[in-house]
Amino acid sequence: MSRDMQQKQPLPEEQIILYQELVHSANSIILRWDRQSRIIFMNQYGLELFGFSEDELIGQEVVGTIVAETDRSGRDLTAMINDILLHPEKYQLNKNENICKDGSALWIQWSNKAIVDSDGTFLEMLSIGIDISPQVVAEKKLRQREKLYQALFKGSFDAHLLSKDGIYIDCNQSALTFLSRSRQEVIGQPMGSFSPEMQLDGVATREKTRDVMERTARGEIVEIEWVIEDPQGNQFRYAEIKVERVGTEEGEIIHISLRDVTEQRVLREELRQRQKLEAIGTLAGGIAHDFNNILMAIMGYTEIVQMKLGKKSSVDSELEQIRTASVRAKDLVAQILTFSRKTGQSKHAIQISLVAKEALQLLRSSIPSTIEIEEDIAAKGFVLADPTQIHQVIVNLCTNAHLAMADDRGLLRISLQDMTLYGEGRTGTRKSILPPGNYVVLEVEDTGCGISPEIKNKLFDPYFTTREHGQGSGMGLAVVHGIVQSHQGIITVDSSQGQGTLFRLYFPVVSKPTGNNSWTKNDNSDSPKQATSLRGNILLADDEESICELICDFLTEKGHTVTTCVDGEQALKEFSKTANQWDLLITDQTMPKMTGMQLSEKVLRIRPELPIILCTGHSRPVDRETAKQPGFHAIIEKPISLHKLLAEIEKAFIDRSALRTLS
């Protein structure tokens, strides 16, 4: 029997039935269509999948029934169907979008085979299709996620790096910016590169990196702070990093995200420093009162002993040493109180240039002539300031500059200029913001040893000093910092080790005042004034018994009658018994139960003309406007010389309305 006859021989009926059952029960689409792209046959699975009945589908063209003219991406499916008929070998495997009767879309993976006769003439196309819609949807979502990830990865403000086997394989632009390196310098480098040898906790970077990799290998998400250095190794930046292991088609990689916290760290450190200064200031103000009382007892009894023994005493020089040391301690307490910003300030509009010129005149006698002093005092603006404290600022800065110059040789430059700022600007490394306006700018510059970076952030700490013992208390710059802040000013430092230092202070300008702007320092002489013959009955109130005894003994020796009380309430009761017999009230400001101001106000209601001397050495400033009311004679800051106190008492008997503040 010939081969053609064998091919044309019909199949037995049972085989036909079996064939039909297999075709209709298959879990794939079986489709036959002719050269006019008309559907000849579709199995039951395909009919159910597309939602057609056999009568609705047989004889219909493929395009328009189960294939749209174009898919949603714009692909021409009509042309594709025609091309399949012409070149079926190109489409043995083909994936395209199909449509159902209800208009929904399906993605089908087609296997196409041309059916030909013995002569090779095309008879029909056999297409077997598998529904791959779930896979296509999953792939689409995956691509969307990848696109989103790339957008987040590449466009994030945070730095992101990817590492495989401990080597960086990818990073975004933010990472390159943060690391200050090019892509070529980053990709291919091992994890832990671009960091100093040690991290913040003192652990070596190499060891820290190994620990992070081991923890991520165990599935941990590691969050730590990390230090990065620039290519030159001159500057550190700080980052909060998150390291986690991520599974990909290419295997597991490590994702490192870095957030730059350098600015926050600097601000945190500045806040910590400010809080530390405030805490020390509060402590300083608290102890100053007690310390002043101790000093007053030492100074006072030393004066009494000197007065009794006379200048020719064999121990007079030793007593003078005690008195001199006490005066130095008094000055130190004054600096502590200034630093703590607790001392009363007498601020008014002044030209700092006048204060600067006087301060420089005094400094020239104390700074060696081998140090050249260059001054440029040109500022005309007025500043709301306490002239005594501005004087102290200039003296402290110039003294600091002098001590920074080795062998007493170098250049000290002092400049005072007017400046107008038209927009907000940063000032130096402390990143303080200056609002627009007019300023008087004080500059003190030296050619000394300079300041190393590691101690620059400690510069304004009280008692911090790099000098040898005996060359300074370490309070100078802390006091300067406190004064400048209390004047709403800003101080910056520009210094490099071995290159000298420049301090720049900005003070906001105020309107020009009316009247005289002259300024001279108070008379601080401790020498006794010419005594008068006036004597009186004095009520003394102080919670320190040693102070009461000291003043009482001294004034009694001078012919006064003194009654002492240890608190304000006791003093008020004593005064009220015989209000008219008293010639003067001397009261401490800080006492239990009743302050000196409260006692004075109650006494003045009874005796408005009674002169009052108010002694203060505590942190809280006295309301000087209140103290200027009739009856107040003087505000004396502790510790005070007994001779000064005596002079004020005798003046009070002569003039009951004058108010003088002694420092």
Reading the block at residue 21, the tokens are: 């059952």
> Rounded to an integer, what distance in angstroms lies between the CA atom of residue 336 and that of residue 281?
8
The stretch 317-344 carries a mean pLDDT of 69
Q: pLDDT, tens digit, for every residue of 160-184?
A: 888 888 899 888 888 888 888 999 9
pLDDT level of residue 454 (50, 70, 90 thresholds): low
Alpha helices in 262-373 (DSSP H): 262-309, 316-339, 352-366
Q: For position 516, what pLDDT does the model report?
A: 44
Helix (H, G, I), strand (E, B) or coil at 108: strand
Q: Give the Cβ contact number of residue 537 at 10 Å.
A: 13
Q: pLDDT, tens digit, for every residue of 104-122?
A: 999 999 999 999 888 888 8
Q: pLDDT, tens digit, for every residue of 388-400?
A: 788 889 988 998 8
Average pLDDT of the residues of the chain: 81
Reading the block at residue 235, the tokens are: 């500057």
| Fold type of domain 139-260 | Beta-Lactamase (3.30.450)
Biggest CA pair distance of the chain: 163
Q: pLDDT, tens digit, for every residue of 149-164?
A: 777 777 777 888 888 8
Beta carbons of 381 and 472 less than 8 angstroms apart: no
Q: Domains of the chain: which residue ranges?
A: 14-131, 139-260, 348-510, 537-662
pLDDT level of residue 622 (50, 70, 90 thresholds): low
Beta strands in 133-249 (DSSP E): 159-164, 167-171, 222-229, 236-248
Residue 239 phi, psi (nearest 5): -140, 145
Residue 359, phi-psi category: left (phi > 0), alpha (psi -120 to 50), beta (remainder): alpha
Percentage of the residues of the chain whose pLDDT score is greater than 90: 31
Tokens 């691509």 map to which residue? 143
Domain 139-260 matches domain 537-662 at the CATH topology level: no
Residue 575 phi, psi (nearest 5): -65, -40
Helix (H, G, I), strand (E, B) or coil at 81: helix
Q: pLDDT, tens digit, for every residue of 68-77?
A: 888 888 889 8
Handedness of CA 509, 510, 516, 520 (dihedral sign): negative
Q: For position 477, what pLDDT does the model report?
A: 82
| Fold type of domain 14-131 | Beta-Lactamase (3.30.450)
Write out the H or E segment, with its range, that includes residue 374. strand 371-377
The CATH number given to 537-662 is 3.40.50.2300
Is pLDDT above 80 for 617? no
Write out the H or E segment, with its range, that includes residue 185. helix 183-186
pLDDT level of residue 504 (50, 70, 90 thresholds): very high
pLDDT level of residue 590 (50, 70, 90 thresholds): confident
Single-letter amino acid, residue 570: Q
Write out the H or E segment, with its range, that includes residue 107. strand 105-116
Beta carbons of 348 and 384 less than 8 angstroms apart: yes
> Rounded to an integer, what distance in angstroms lies between the CA atom of residue 504 and that of residue 427?
9
Among 3.30.565.10, 3.30.930.10, 2.40.33.10, 3.90.226.10, name the CATH number for the domain at 348-510: 3.30.565.10
How far is the CA of 546 from the CAs of 298, 303, 424, 551, 564, in angstroms? 10, 15, 55, 9, 11
Q: pLDDT, tens digit, for every residue of 228-285?
A: 888 877 678 889 999 999 876 667 888 999 998 888 887 887 788 777 767 776 776 6
> Which residue in 518, 532, 652 sits closest to 585, CA to CA?
652
> Rounded to an integer, what distance in angstroms lies between the CA atom of residue 238 and that of residue 256?
15
> DSSP string covering 484-553, please?
HHHTT-EEEEEE-TTS-EEEEEEEEEEPPPSS-----------SPPPPPS---EEEEE-S-HHHHHHHHH
